[in-house]
Amino acid sequence: MGRLSVSLCGIGLDNPVIPASGTFGYGYEFAELYDINCLGTFSFKGTTLHSRPGNPLPRIAETASGMLNAVGLQNPGVDRVISEELPKLAECFHKPVIANVSGFSVEEYAEVCRRFDAQPQVGWLEVNVSCPNVHDGGMSFGTEPKAAAEVTRAVRAVTSKPVIMKLSPNVTDIVAVAKACEDAGADALSLINTLMGMRIDLRTRRPVLANRTGGLSGPAVFPVALRMVWQVSQAVRIPVIGLGGIQSAEDVIEMMLAGASAVQVGAANLVNPCTCRDIIRALPGTMDRLQINTLQEIIGGSHGQ
């Protein structure tokens, strides 16, 4: 293994840098800018059983140190992702990819995962029980341990691929949800998804987003994400993927010291589409400066301090 190499659920990654779902499309859009095979892997756009147009406009709002989004899981549905998006992706990305799965019932989650299970390009299933921007689904499954465990068990029963449960920070006790997912068969956890927030237009005196509320991402959420990764990684035995506000090589190292085995980069891709490439390039020099030999050896390095 190289200095940057890590393992995620038994699958080796050249480095721990993973663009987060919803910020990297299906990869080929970014492949026009750089060779995306430099990435560890990436999580493609959240997929549901049937196509979704997403929420009404406007559904993006800037904040002082981040952004709010209420896109609402716009996607063409799992069958078109398999028939149209994955073949185009295969032309430019030659590593296993993470399929991000959303649903509005336990049965829907399981069915989408069952269909992705047959796709050799998909290395992992990232099950999103934490989306705050849709009604009657998404986050409702991730706010209570029993419901999160129910989805985990249903997905685990239909796939042989590693199952990563993506957790919500909008809960009282994220450790309880994490442990419930682990006990139900999850192979890894990714956290955090966005924090609930809103903005109000001072002229109209109405919420900026048509959905009223949206998910806050960007540098503002990094300390919250770091704290939750630190807590959860010490409470479970399975790998944790850390995400939330990461925008530099230093942020990657800090998140791994908190206990993350890999990291996802989200909103920063929307500011600079080459962010992930630039972070990977900066990691060796940053490691030298901090006297780090390999990234694998620093995972959880802050625990017990």
Residue in 113, 131, 181, 276 annotated catalytic: 131
State how far the alpha carbon of 156 is from the alpha carbons of 10, 159, 186, in Å: 16, 6, 7
What amino acid is encoded at 4 in this protein?
L
DSSP codes of every residue in 54-105: -SPSP-EEEETTEEEE-----B--HHHIIIIIHHHHHTT--S-EEEEE--SS
**Active-site residue flag, 181:** no
**Would you state the structure tokens that stand for residue 177, as one six-digit string?**
């949800």
Q: How far is CA 295 from CA 106, 225, 256, 305, in A?
A: 36, 19, 8, 19
Q: Are 242 and 265 in contact (CB under 8 A)?
A: no
**At a CB cut-off of 8 Å and minimum separation 6, what does 281 contact?**
none
Q: Which are the catalytic amino acids?
A: 131
